[in-house]
Chains A and B, each alone.
Chain A
Amino acid sequence: MNIHSPLLFCHYYNYRILIANIVLEVYIFHDGGRHAMMQLQEPTQTISPKATKLWRIEALIFFSIIFIIASVLLVMAYYFSWMMWIKIVLYILIAYIFIQAVVSIAIKPIYLQRTWRYEISDDFIQLKNGFLTVQYTVIPTIKIEYVTADQGPLLRKYNLASITIGTVASSHTIPALPEDEAHRLRYEIAQIAKIRHEASSDMSMDDANE
């Protein structure tokens, strides 16, 4: 276990802003003793612009149902004269739901649609998305177990489809892709995964023959 001391940024954390600024542009890492420069290739592909509309309708339906439930509860609270604190809690909840509804109908879909990025290469599937919390996930293609293209009634209306990529551990969805694009991607991912699995089993066969 004789390894040269690695470049650990937590040791230089006082200079974090400086380092982080450099790192965000060009990424420096330590590679077997020599420093190398490498661009951190972030995903670039975008999803369909129709996603905004779609998510708005979905959010509208969802929040309408929630509002109906909340108003029924409120009416019941007055009709059956429930305790005061229940009414207070209900009012707070309704205010909270209202803010949530405004955010997720008016602002969130636009922002999400603009920031959703994915990239499929021979080695990795990268997904990056998020409204206030940005998530960046890397899945090596060898870990892929299955891939499906799904289309619900709303998606069908807008000629869209979503793709679900499943690994042993979990599954991820790329939402609202144009229909043709989705089917092409599904095929592509399946091909990559198949080749990868074959390559890895070939490798072990070669090992056995040696």
Chain B
Amino acid sequence: MMQMNKRKRLHPLWIGYELLIVMKDVIAPIVIAGALYLQGHALWSLIALIGMFIFICYQIIGIIFSWKNYYYVVNEHELEINEGRFITKKRFIPLTRIISYEQKTSFYHKFFKLTSLELLTATTNIDEATIRLPMLTADEAHEIIGRLEKETNHKNCEERIEHKELAYYRMKPVEIFYYVITSLYIVIGLPIISSLITKIDDLMPLEGVVLTLIKRLITSPVSLVISILVAFIVTVIISFFIVYFRHGNFTVTADEKRLHISKGILTTSTFTIQKDNINGIIIERSFPRRLFSIVSVKAVTQGDMLEEDEIKKQILFPFIRESRAIAILDEMLPNYPVAKKMCSVSKEALFLHMIHPSYLFVIIIFFVFYFGPEYWFIPIIYGIGLIILRIIKAKQTKYLYEDDILQLQSGVLTTNVTMTAWEKIDELTVSQTYLEKKLYVATIIFTIREKPTYNVMIEHIPIADALQMLTQYREKTEHLTR
């Protein structure tokens, strides 16, 4: 125990890692300064270089200082961290507050047999939610994870740890293939590749050989089809590899209490979360992928990863056949059973969706009739599109609630099926407009814990159902707190 409480620093190679990042940021300005010099603006390039030099010096001093100031101590029930460049800050984080952690190993880390840890806490302050331990040896990381697991196990009175990990999901190449075909890679990739082919003449001294070749190809329909096919296949292959390097080796394993999500080829990462800390599951059916019944499955967790300043939901399966997803989920997270049949909303709901005012529609009508009545078809097309989308929206609003199931579906082109449990809901709001009151329907809003808040709104359900959900929610949460 004494040895455990020792102050520990980051591995010194962290300085090198940070320096590399600084260098990466500085390369582009240096190139620009060089270009300025070549164009005869010697003074400007000199000023730019001096500025750059001061910036780099400041960064290096800052990095050395923050390495010097950084230390962490793993106490019995809490983690102590001291960090900061010129102003240091000491934080104590109770281990039980840590909801999930992610072990990331970039190429640099792997080269020196090091690793990094990111710990996520449940805090209202989003800036302090993530605790980073950016450069650790494998042993140190292992020790911290061990402490964490012991603490959470102790909390839930299970001294015996069953390390029976089962691999539930491994990404198949076929799924990547489906993903590539149904994604925007094709739409973006085809023009890029065809423009590249036509630009080859400018780049290489081929004396217009390629262009004449293309001209000859285009003149005959057979060779035109063949060349389009070739371009298509090339795009698919290239985007296949892009996706493979981004999501490749995606594996989900789970033991009785925890879920591990690993991914990556060059930079590998493993995300671990307790099953108890999962507040809900979202099955997302986005538009073109629905045709192939490919869905993506996400988890709603208490604290979400902050990555490059944007918050992302934890992805369980990035793209998977729906039937397979449901089968795996049933086995892996038995707390969230997926029920097939859900209640749809009624004719009244459709009516209410239809008469909902669309301000954009009014504005479009005004401008078209004011400026160009000859474009009368624009508002008509927009109106028809609006009606179709609203019918789709009404048809896809579905819900199901039972003793231990709560399943909500909403969305227009992309539908989300959210599965959650009564105890995991933070707030429930039933709202009724004047018209809804007259038609005996209501809108119900579920606030599921997450940062930022994750809301599910089910519009225009029968008031009886809404009130029953409200009562059931009260029953369940009362039971929870007693």
Which A residues have a C-beta under 8 Å from some C-beta of B? Answer: 1, 3, 6-11, 13, 16-17, 19-20, 23-24, 27, 29, 31-32, 38, 40, 85, 88-89, 123-124, 130, 132-143, 145, 166-170, 196, 199-200, 204, 207-208, 210
Contact = CB atoms under 8 A, between A and B. Distances in A.
B402 A3 contact: yes
Given A3-B402, A8-B343, A20 B427 contact: no
B431 A142 contact: no
A208 B77 CA distance: 15
14 contacts: A3-B403, A6-B403, A8-B400, A13-B462, A16-B464, A20-B440, A29-B475, A123-B474, A123-B481, A135-B431, A136-B429, A137-B427, A138-B427, A138-B470
Contact of A20 (B366, B404, B434, B462): B462
B71 interface: no
Given A8-B343, A10-B465, A208-B154, A138 B473 contact: yes
B440 A17 contact: yes
**Most chain B beta carbons < 10 A, residue from A13, A89, A204:** A13
Given A10-B344, A10-B465, A20-B463, A130 B449 contact: no
B478 A123 contact: yes
Contacts of A31: 475
Given A137-B427, A196-B481, A208 B465 contact: no
Contacts of B470: 40, 136, 138
Contacts of A123: 474, 477-478, 481
A84 to B, nearest CB: 9
A127 to B, nearest CB: 9
A210 to B, nearest CB: 6
Contacts of B447: 169-170
A173 to B, nearest CB: 14
Contacts of A134: 431-432, 437
A124 B474 contact: yes
Given A132-B433, A142-B477, A10 B461 contact: yes
Contacts, number: 141
Contact of B467 (A17, A27, A143, A208): A27
Contacts of A133: 431-434
B157 A130 contact: no
Contact of B430 (A11, A88, A135, A167): A135
Contact of B346 (A1, A13, A138): A13
Contact of B156 (A141, A143, A200, A207): A207
B478 A29 contact: no
B428 interface: yes
B453 interface: yes
B411 interface: no
A11 B342 CA distance: 10
Contacts of A29: 468, 471-472, 475
B186 to A, nearest CB: 39
B462 A1 contact: no
B427 A85 contact: no
B337 interface: yes
B377 interface: no
A203 B480 CA distance: 11
A210 B155 CA distance: 11
B431 A11 contact: no
Interface string B340-360: 000111100000000000000
A9 B465 contact: yes
4 closest A-B pairs by CB: A10-B343, A9-B464, A140-B477, A169-B426
Nearest to A92: B366
B431 A23 contact: no
B5 interface: no
**Most chain A beta carbons < 10 A, residue from B154, B156, B433, B467:** B467
A32 B403 CA distance: 8
Contacts of A169: 426-427, 447-450, 453
Contacts of A24: 463, 467
Contacts of A167: 426-427
Contacts of B464: 9, 16, 19-20, 23
A143 B427 contact: yes
B370 interface: yes
B124 interface: yes
Contacts of A166: 124
Given A85-B370, A142-B480, A207-B156, A170 B427 contact: yes
B318 to A, nearest CB: 27
**Most chain B beta carbons < 10 A, residue from A3, A16, A89, A142:** A16
A9 B471 contact: no
B28 to A, nearest CB: 41
Contacts of A16: 346, 440, 462, 464
A139 B431 contact: no
B481 A141 contact: yes
A31 B475 CA distance: 10
A137 B462 contact: no
Given A10-B346, A143-B426, 8 more contacts: A8-B465, A9-B465, A9-B468, A10-B345, A85-B367, A124-B474, A135-B430, A140-B478
Contacts of B450: 169
Contact of B426 (A1, A88, A168): A168
B369 to A, nearest CB: 11
B209 to A, nearest CB: 56
Contacts of A3: 402-405
A140 B422 CA distance: 11
Contacts of B461: 10
Contacts of A142: 477, 480-481
B427 A130 contact: no
A57 B473 CA distance: 38
Contacts of A204: 155-156
**Most chain A beta carbons < 10 A, residue from B403, B440, B464:** B464
